Amino acid sequence: MTIAGTRSAGTSVNDWNCSCCALDPLTASASGQSTRRLWLVLGLLILLWIAELSIGSWSHSLSLLADAGHLFADVGALLLTLAASWFARRPAAGRATFGHWRVELLAALANGFGLLAIAALIAWEAVERFHFPEPVLSLPLLLGAGLGLLVNGLNLKLLHKHSAHDLNLQGAFLHVVADVASSVGILVAALVIYGLHWLWIDAVASLMIACLTGLSALPLIWNSLEVLLNYAPRSVDPALVREFLESSPGVCQVQKLHIWSIASNRAGLCAQLAIKPLTAAERDRLQSQLQAELSHAFGIQDSTLQLTNRFAIGAETLHPLLEGSLRAQISTTTTTTLSGLVRGCQEITS
């Protein structure tokens, strides 16, 4: 996807033709596939949540009930993610000139803080269980842990392939990673309780679930904040982009270079380039070549380049006070010169 962003000096803003907010078919297809995977994961999590809640209540296992609470939060987070994914696909209109891409980032950020809240609640309940232990039925606990490991392993496989380039899927993937670790911990706790009758291991497993849940939230929160703060993507080095533009034939200077993340998998760029005098056809060809190379080499799909004659950049940057002083000096010099010419003519005439 490219942007016809070339503009010569004196061209009006209305002459810009920008397509950075259009949803291309490739992106729409990938987004639809991600949504289908999320719905499938959601259905499996709901079934697992019902099973763990029932078995946890029967076996009096805090770790299994904690995992059921975690799953309940996962279900809510996935519903929020699906709603955000649907809303983000709405086209740009009205005041939403960039579209609604960042709704997904807000959902990812909410998921991260939700995970932290769940971790704190589970840790609190685990500490309480240390002080007031309860008998735990190990065989039902073992059944619930095995079922959780099976379902979460399947969800992990469904989300792993596409989670690296989508913050929404990354958020869901991190939820499932924490769920898998929780299931492993519960399974170990069930075996220890069955073999050694150590009831306190159930509280230890709950604390482990709390720690993993909290740690899995931190990367998601930070990655979301980086995009919302308009940081350049980690995959793009602004210094290398500037070096590439400055070394391109026909480009004399690069000014006002800005690179940011439009969404978790979309990068944007705008820059003002001072170029040597070129014909209109040569300018268009240079602009197209630069945008194609930015997309191919740096993964920047949306780039707006303002190509300006190298003598035009900075031509009107004089401070108003200096500009007024300069005009006064020019006016005084002109008046003095004219007065001298008049006197000279009078002397010749006389």
Helix residue spans in the chain (DSSP H): 25-59, 62-88, 103-131, 138-160, 167-196, 200-228, 238-246, 280-298, 320-349
Residue 21: what pLDDT?
Answer: 41
| Whole-number Å distance between alpha carbons of 46 and 256 | 50
Per-residue CA distances from 49 to 56, 116, 120, 158 (Å): 10, 19, 20, 18
- Number of folded domains that form the chain: 3
Is there a single domain that holds both residue 185 and residue 286? no
Residue 240: what pLDDT?
Answer: 93
- Which candidate, 217, 307, 304, places its Cα nearest to that of 260? 304
Residue 171: what pLDDT?
Answer: 67
User: Pick from 228, 261, 292: which residue ends a domain?
Assistant: 228
Residue 230: what pLDDT?
Answer: 85
Is there a single domain that holds both residue 182 and residue 212? yes
Is there a single domain that holds both residue 127 and residue 223? yes
User: Pick from 228, 259, 286: which residue ends a domain?
Assistant: 228
**332 part of a folded domain:** yes
Residue 155: what pLDDT?
Answer: 86
Q: Tell me, what CATH number does 295's domain have?
A: 3.30.70.1350
Helix (H, G, I), strand (E, B) or coil at 273: strand
Residue 335: what pLDDT?
Answer: 56
Per-residue CA distances from 77 to 29, 83, 156 (Å): 23, 10, 16
Residue 70: what pLDDT?
Answer: 76
**100 part of a folded domain:** yes
The tens place of each residue's pLDDT in the chain, 350 residues long, gives 333 343 333 333 333 333 344 444 444 445 556 677 778 888 998 999 999 899 988 888 888 888 887 788 778 777 877 777 777 777 777 787 777 777 778 877 888 888 888 888 888 988 888 888 788 888 888 898 899 999 988 888 888 766 666 666 776 777 788 788 788 888 888 899 888 888 888 888 888 888 877 887 888 888 888 888 888 888 899 999 999 999 998 898 898 899 998 776 788 999 999 988 888 888 889 999 999 999 998 989 889 899 988 765 444 444 444 445 545 555 555 555 556 655 666 666 65
pTM above 0.75, yes or no: no
| Whole-number Å distance between alpha carbons of 219 and 225 | 10
Q: Tell me, what CATH number does 54's domain have?
A: 1.20.1510.10
Residue 273: what pLDDT?
Answer: 92
Q: Name the residue range of residue 258's domain.
A: 234-309
Is there a single domain that holds both residue 214 and residue 65? yes
CA atoms within 13 A on the CB side of 211: 8
Is there a single domain that holds both residue 47 and residue 122? yes
Strand order across the beta sheet in which 302-309 lies:
251-263, 266-275, 302-309
**18 part of a folded domain:** no
Helix (H, G, I), strand (E, B) or coil at 22: coil
Is there a single domain that holds both residue 213 and residue 123? yes
